[in-house]
Structure 1
Amino acid sequence: MTGATAAVLARGPNGSSSPNLVLLAVGYAALGVLLAVEVRRHRAGLPSTLGRTLVFGCAAGLLVLAVAVPPTESGDVWAYSWYGRVVAHYHANPYTTPPSHHPTDPWAQRVDHPYQNTNSVYGPVFTAVSGAGMLVFGHWFLTARLFFQLLAAACVAAALVVIWKRTRSPAAVAIVGLNPLVVVSVVNGGHNDAWVGLAVLAGVVLVSRERLRWAGLALAAAVLIKVAAVLPLLAVGLWVWRNKGWRAAAEMGGAAVVAGLLAYGIAGGTTAIGPLRAAQLHFSGPSVWKGPAHWLASEGLQRWVATGATAAAVALTLFLARRRIDHADPALVAGGAVLAYCLIGPYVLPWYVIWGLPAFALAWRSRLTWLALLHGAVLHLAYVPNPEVTERPPDRFILRTPLQRFQVDVFHLWLPILEVTIILAVVAYSLLLSGRRRSSSPVP
């Protein structure tokens, strides 16, 4: 598992897609076998075969390698650098200054072609951190890249420590620390989604410790990086309301709302929200909504599809939260909210899975956790890029090998089918369990 993931990184940004697909598939299969063995041993009352030192050592080695190698799957780090540079160098607003406004700037030229006219869709916390980072480290491309990669690695490392302290389970640590998606897509890509995952995990832990205002601030920080993190905030708020009362929920929610209003007020208010409205019409390839949005050429109808997708994500979040609201801690409702968005949201990328993965690791034997791992693995494999593509705008796939053709089928057909299947299975299983509980409850 560790060797396969390390081999993908060692092949670098120019590694061809077919070997990378095989190596990643091996890595995911090995992780699945390892976790299955650990679950069986736990059910049998046997000690873990994994050692803490081994798991943390392998995770540390992979994180170091992920930072040392330039991003292999995504150029988002250059978009991050640009938005930070807008603040630090131009003293301008990243929500109104896309790369195309400065076509001769070498940093703007590094931003991927599809995003040359895109304003920042990230929240005020990201804007502040990226601006500070580019002020200090934005003199060279290397230091800027390392800043974002190291920040992602630090967030993952912090999450591993928290997971260990909460579970004392090497398997729980392995779910995040040895996961190819986390190492390759998140850390090597320098994605700010690692910040979101740590903030959601912190919110879950703080709720468990009765630190409700701090929990609200932690979950608000996640939303102020990526607005879709409002779903785990909503789910955890419902859990607090059910288990600790409306006063506790109001305390946590109030802290989150005040922090959000202050942050967006400082960032420019409606100006900072404007790019999110434009991004509403973006649908990722494997999304279950991509087809309907493509069939409806009218922008007005596409907005209705986007609104329906958002409503569906909220509805699935509430359903999953309601079915797990009586659990001892809110880890599953927070992770379930992220899974809901990843399954039925309009725009989903592999690294979004990290938003809920650390929280899921606290309940690593849950069926919901395993479904999230399965979906994340298939999503990652579907998005493995082909570096042989050089056209601008790039065509993601060159259909030269059967494996590449199969990847295209997964991307456009099998992944949406898998997402619908998981949704139906989760809903049906939850309703079945609910019916059994009602039928087995004593008649008064």
Structure 2
Amino acid sequence: MRNRGLLRWAAVAVAAGGTAASLLEGSRAPLGPTLAVTLVGYIGLGVLLLTDRDAGPTGKAVLTVSGGLLALAVIVPPTQSHDVWAYAMYGRIVAKHHASPYLHSPAKYPNDPVFHRMDLIWQHTRSVYGPAFTAVSAGAMAVIGTSSLGARFFFQLVSAIAVALTLWLIWRHTRSPTAVALIGLNPLVIISVVNGGHNDALVGLAILGSVLLVGKQRWEVAGICLAGAVLVKLTAGLPFLAIAVWVWRRHGLRAAWRMCIFGGLLIVVGYLAAGGKLVLGPLQQAQLHSSGASVWNQLRRHLTFQAVANGLRGGVAGHQVRHTLSTVATGAVLGLGGLAVGRRLHHENPAIIAGAAVVAYLLLGFYVLPWYLAWGLPVLALAWRSKFTWIAALHGALLHLAYVPDPRQFPPLGYGKIPLSVVENVRYNFTVYW
């Protein structure tokens, strides 16, 4: 038992060391070493998960190490994503240019100092973020101005605070160092989410809070929490629906109605205040975006080339194929999510159900990125011994490693560093498990 305890302490050190080394290497480090140290971090986390029942680090120790990693993730400039500059620019469109980021793209303001820090591919894209996050971004940029340090520090700090609150809630509910480590020592969370300054941490915190509130039968407040998630990212509506179905089946229509009416009204008011249909326009365009991690990507390429061979122009062929496949993907996500929820309505709490709705999107969504797992991983940490949670964490790790940028490429972001077959095998295991 003593040796197992030492092994778990070593696993904490390896997980933290690998993650910290990846951050300290910076954004211009060669791909090989970055992948290696990040993989080391995941190996340490994996050992910690697999030896959960043995003695080892206390919750206080894991929380302390996690806090150190969160601090480092905020201190170090973003290493694997430039999304903080998109957040900042959308905020400046409101605060500085007194316009709507849902109506005007950043390209309309080429003289704005923040504009040129954005990735080229997003400079002509209107905001796809919810009105609550846009309001936060606008308020922050009104104070920060054009300071690059202030902008990136603000969004990283918001993400770090959200993860810190998530860790506190998980520890308070589970009293498990392993459950805390699944978030706090996870390279995906520390590097992709916090260091990247991604607002997905806010979504995950809101969904976790709603699940815990549902467990206390505080339906109205749970609905408000879920509305907060949807007002950051509309896709949070998937776990909202999943939780609502669970509440209906377990506690009756009245309870579900109370939760949905409070959450639904807040969502409607928020989106109407931001412009109503105006807010949904960029989201409709964004439905045509695809990513390399999407299960549909290879089929999209094949069908596009086939359409071009049949005489269609490249742009027309690409648009038609993306439109068709995005519609099919949406239906597939809803179908798989419905299947996952239906098979788990007997669970004592909706944590797995909410997480399964998120994982359904990661598996079959048309546009998928590693940090999207932050929507569902916090609630899955409540069921840290579940095989479903382990496979979800593995899938997230593979997506993260596949998206580690190669600084020799331009733009230095892409997919394919890990063979697609590996990611597909994890998807297959999910399907079998479901």
Name the CA distance, whole Å, in 2 between partners of 1:343 and 1:36.
24
Q: Choose which of 85, 102, 105 in structure 1 pairs with 2:109.
A: 102
**Residue 272 (structure 1) aligned with residue 279 (structure 2):** yes
Indicate conservation of the 8 Å contact 2:398/2:423, yes or no.
no
So what's the TM-score if we normalise by structure 2?
Answer: 0.91
Q: Distance in 2 between matches of 1:118 and 1:304?
A: 21
Tell me what 1:192 maps to. Answer: 199
Contact 2:391–2:430 (CA<8 Å) still a contact in 1? no
Find 2:388's aligned residue among 358, 368, 376.
368
Query: Residues of 2 paired with 1:147 and 1:236: CA distance?
Result: 31
* Alignment deviations for residues 346-390 of structure 1 (CA, whole Å, 9 cap, x no partner): 11101101101110111100111001101000000000001222x
Q: 1:423 to 1:172 in 2, by over 3 A?
A: closer
2:221 corresponding residue in structure 1: 214
Q: TM-score, normalised by structure 1?
A: 0.89
- The amino acid that maps onto 2:370 is P
The answer to whether 1:125 aligns with 2:145 is no
Specify the alignment match of 1:81 in structure 2. 88
Aligned counterpart, 2:172:
165
Q: Please state if 1:343 is matched with 2:363.
A: yes
SS of the equivalent of 1:408 reads coil
Give aligned pairs, total.
407
Equivalent of residue 416 in structure 2, options 404, 408, 426: 408
Residue 62 of structure 1, CA deviation: 0.3
Q: Give 3-state SS (helix, strand or coil) of 1:288's partner.
A: coil
* SS, match of residue 276 in structure 1: helix
**Per the alignment, in what secondary structure is the counterpart of residue 416 of structure 2?**
helix
Compute the displacement of 1:396 (Å).
3.9
Q: State the AA in 2 paired with 1:7.
A: A
SS at match of 2:153: helix
How far 1:419 sits from its partner (Å)?
4.8
Deviation at 1:106, TM superposition (A): 1.2
Q: Offset of 1:418 from its aligned partner?
A: 2.6
Render the CA deviation track for 1:298-331: whole Å, top value 9, x for unaligned: 3334322111101111111111111111111111
Counterpart selection for 2:31 from 8, 12, 17: 17
Query: How far apart, in 2, do the equivalents of 1:337 and 1:169 lie?
Result: 24
DSSP-derived class of the 2:114 partner: helix
Listed as ranges, the matches of 1:13-162 within 5 Å are 13-38=27-52, 40-41=53-54, 48-162=55-169
Specify the SS of the correspondent of 1:329.
coil
Letter of the 1:138 partner, please give it. Answer: G
C-alpha displacement at 1:207, in angstroms? 0.6
1:296 aligned to 284, 303, 311, which one? 303
Three-state SS of the structure 2 residue aligned to 1:296 is: helix
Map residues 377-416 of structure 1 onto 2, 5 A cutoff: 377-389=397-409, 391=410, 394=411, 396=413, 408=416, 410=418, 413-416=420-423
Helix, strand or coil: the match of 1:66?
A: helix
Q: Distance in 2 between matches of 1:421 and 1:310?
A: 19
Superposed, which structure 2 residues align to 1:230-309 within 5 Å? Answer: 230-297=237-304, 298=317, 299-309=319-329
Counterpart Cα distance in 2 of 1:103 and 1:277: 24
Q: Which moved more, 1:88-97 or 1:73-82?
A: 88-97
Other-structure match for 2:310: none
The answer as to whether partners of 2:130 and 2:233 remain within 8 angstroms in 1 is: yes
- Taking the aligned partners of 1:316 and 1:213, their CA distance within structure 2 comes to 28
What is the alpha-carbon distance in structure 1 between the residues aligned to residue 418 and residue 28 of structure 2?
A: 22
Report the residue type matching 1:348 in the other structure. V
Distance 1:417 1:108 in 2: 37
SS at match of 1:94: coil
Instruction: Determine whether 1:5 maps to 2:19.
Output: yes
Structure 2 residue ranges without an equivalent (≥5): 1-14, 305-316
Structure 1 residues 119, 415: CA separation in 2 closer, same or farther (over 3 Å shift)? Answer: farther
Identity between Structure 1 and Structure 2 (%) = 49
Q: Distance in 1 between matches of 2:344 and 2:76?
A: 40
1:333 aligned partner:
353
